Amino acid sequence: MGPAGMVLITDHTWPDIELERSLLAGADLRVTDAPAADEASLRALAADAIAIMTCFAQVTPSVIESAPNLKMIARYGVGVDNIAVEVATARQIPVTYVPDYCVAEVAEHALALMLSLARGVVRYSRSVSAGGWDLGVAAPVYRIEGRTLGIVGCGRIGRRLAQMVLGLGVRVLGYDPDPAAVSGIERVDLDDLLARSDFVSLHVPLLPATRGLVDEAFLRRMKPTGYLINTARGGLVDVAALARALKEGWLAGAALDVLPQEPPPSDDPLRGLDNVVLTPHVSFYSEESLLALRRRTAQSVVDVLAGRQAEHVYNRAALARGGR
């Protein structure tokens, strides 16, 4: 007899899926690695799928509706904003995710971006590479000790970042709608955080309420000497407003690992600005975190299809209510 069902992997940023194939084959499941992640391609491939594993591809209502035998969707990652969760829930399809696999990595990356901005690392590096040797390229540079970091979103990653910077003598302010989340951090409202912080780091999910959170009004409330850091989701930031703030001096600089469109178009307004640091959505990555992510995502598929409770189900509460 052949494998019991097909698992569709929509996309991945690593070279091969041999680890996933091996783990799923042990549960009598075969894998289809999508050659393209556009909606039409995924619709056609999903028609035979009993499970979908997705990294960044959009698992739209149409893709889900094209899969009559679909039993679950597994996200390689923390957020599920690329998945039509409500459509899945209406069909009683669990959506799994891995919310805690890269806590240290993202916090470390946010810290690296913060230090890079504060010390002018990228500006100095570009200057030296171009033949320069000038202190003034990134001036003024201020001591990090004694400055203030505002953390917007005090979940696992935000709290880990707070622990890291406290050891550097940095004051920490936290804003989160959930008072219980702000533990061991001075809790303030968003206006107070923006007014007092030298660095503002975003650690909130992308939801309808947070999309475009960083708009012109947000940026004008920050210090003109302040820096914005985003390792969360690109859709949190209005990049046109941010580019204007950086060009007109409302803000000293920004460091972004995520953008609304990835990769960014050639005319992205942030490209080419010397007070911006950009990295290609890599804050989640270390060899350790990537291995854990792949194993745990595949294991969630095995568990759900075997009738066991998966480690993390995003829409568990909604499923318990019958999808309503």
Region 217-223: mean pLDDT is 98
Report whether pLDDT(2) > 70: no
pLDDT band (50, 70, 90) for residue 323? low
% of the chain surpassing 70 pLDDT: 98
pLDDT at 318: 84
Marked catalytic residue, from 123, 159, 203, 281: 281
Closest residue by Cα to residue 222 from 150, 154, 281: 150
262: annotated active-site residue = yes
Question: Catalytic one among 262, 271, 308, 321?
Answer: 262
- For residue 313, report the phi and psi dihedrals to the nearest 5 degrees: -115, 120
pLDDT per residue as tens digits for the range 74-98: 999 998 999 999 999 999 999 999 9
Residue with tokens 């901005």: 117
* Structural domains of the chain, ranges and CATH numbers in brackets: 5-100+287-320 (3.40.50.720), 103-278 (3.40.50.720)
What mean pLDDT is predicted for residues 213-237?
A: 98
- CA nearest to 278, candidates 261, 265, 259, 260: 259
CA-CA distance, 154 to 190, in Å (whole number)? 12
Q: In whole angstroms, what is the distance from residue 315 CA to residue 324 CA?
A: 11
pLDDT digits (tens, 9 = 90+) for 101-154: 999 999 999 999 999 999 999 999 999 999 999 999 999 999 999 999 999 999
Q: Is the pLDDT of residue 324 over 80?
A: no
DSSP state of 54: E
* pLDDT over 70 (residue 1): no
Predicted confidence (pLDDT) per residue in 258-315, tens digit: 999 999 999 999 998 999 999 999 999 999 999 999 999 999 999 999 999 999 999 9
Indicate if 248 belongs to the active site.
no
**Active-site hit among 75, 233, 294, 296:** 233
Is 156 annotated in the active site? Answer: no
Mean pLDDT over each residue of the chain, to the nearest integer? 95
Which residue has better confidence, 178 or 145?
145
Q: Has residue 3 got a pLDDT over 90?
A: no
